[in-house]
Amino acid sequence: MKPVILVTRRLPDAVEERLRRDYDARLNPEDVLYSPDELIERAKDVDAILPCHTEKFSAEVIARLPARVRAIANFSVGYDHVDIQAAKARGLIVTNTPEVLSDATAELTIMLMLGAARRASEGERLVRTRAWKDWNPRFMLGTQVTGKRLGILGFGRIGQVVARRARGFDMEIHYHDVRKMAPEQEGGAIFHPTPEELMPHCDFLTLHCVSSPETLRLLNAERIALLPDGAIVINASRGAVVDDEALIAALKSGKLTAAGLDVYTNEPDIHPEYRELPNVFLMPHIASATKETRDAMGFRALDNLDAIFAGREPRDRVA
């Protein structure tokens, strides 16, 4: 008998093909977003769940999962949508999909940085709405990226790839993480032992830390105040690491020149003021959305399930 897997969202064709081949897969061809009650109902008689970050596994949901469910194999590197303590207490195995999305996420981070700095959102709107009437030497002046200082908060796999790409713009890389990295990982980047010490060195600040109770609203009014005037903030990690009110106030006051955001608190119903601000470049949580990466994320989640059902330790176990 093949293990039964509940797959909460429609996945890439190649991933669903492998799922059907190796498992008794309960797929979601209509890609309906399941409520917690539906999720629990559909988890009856399944051995594992393959969800995305769109499904929330709170302590309450985990407590109501049928006893047969052994594992949650996430189709995501982030796992802040799963209450890890509750999962551990229940003996659930939880896995994620690191590494395979670092390149795609770094690409989008660079796009956010350039888009925010060079006013991509405003420029595109001008052209699309036929509001572009003229050219003059002072028209649409932006911020040059080349040679500036880039601060990376969270210097894990994604942060390190961002650093490598940013060196193509001759940027000077500064970072903070909970520990100083080995020289080969640093590649010349300058370590700062606290976020507060990093802030004054950031013409651009990009956030790549995990979302956890410790990083909740890490970028708040006090830390924004420590950034150089006119800095630009990028976030492609999770919305929860930013205090929206503080960021919006700084974008309005001119303390910050611009921001580039891919992630938000309460997606897709984001803070309404972001939509009104001209100096934010907004993307809809698509950092890992390339065909290659989404296939790789699915295969990585399946590799983890294969290990679990073969009685081996899954490579990407987080609980």
**Contacting positions for ligand DGY (CB under 6 A):** 52-53, 76-78, 101, 288
**195 CB contacts (<8 Å, ≥6 apart)?**
153, 176, 218, 223
Residue number closest to ligand DGY, CB atom:
78
CA distance 285 to 21: 30
Q: What's the min distance (Å) between Cβ of 79 and ligand DGY? A: 8
Of residues 16, 172, 267, 273, which has the active-site annotation? 267
**In a 3-state reduction of DSSP, which class is residue 205?**
strand
Instruction: Give whichever of 74 and 257 is closer to ligand DGY, judged by the CB atom.
Output: 74
CA distance 281 to 120: 7
What are 5's strand-pairing partners?
Answer: 25, 48
- Cβ of 61: how many Cβ atoms within 10 Å? 18
Instruction: Give whichever of 121 and 288 is closer to ligand DGY, judged by the CB atom.
Output: 288
305 to 86, 120, 233, 312: CA distances (angstroms): 20, 41, 37, 10
Contact 16, 27 (CB under 8 A): yes
CA distance 217 to 182: 28
- Cβ of 14: how many Cβ atoms within 10 Å? 13
Q: Is 271 a catalytic residue?
A: no
Q: What's the min distance (Å) between Cβ of 268 and ligand DGY? A: 13
Instruction: Give whichever of 52 and 117 is closer to ligand DGY, judged by the CB atom.
Output: 52
Q: What's the min distance (Å) between Cβ of 115 and ligand DGY? A: 18
Closest to 288 in 3D by CA, of 252, 262, 311, 260:
262
Of residues 81, 285, 294, 300, which has the active-site annotation? 285
Instruction: Give whichever of 58 and 144 is closer to ligand DGY, judged by the CB atom.
Output: 58
Q: Is 201 a catalytic residue?
A: no
Instruction: Give whichever of 118 and 239 is closer to ligand DGY, judged by the CB atom.
Output: 239
Of residues 119, 176, 192, 238, which has the active-site annotation? 238
CA distance 238 to 118: 23
Q: Is 267 a catalytic residue?
A: yes
At 233, give phi and psi (nearest 5°).
-110, 135
Q: What's the min distance (Å) between Cβ of 182 and ligand DGY? A: 25
Instruction: Give whichever of 77 and 161 is closer to ligand DGY, judged by the CB atom.
Output: 77
Q: What's the min distance (Å) between Cβ of 53 and ligand DGY? A: 4
Indicate which residues carry an active-site annotation.
238, 267, 285
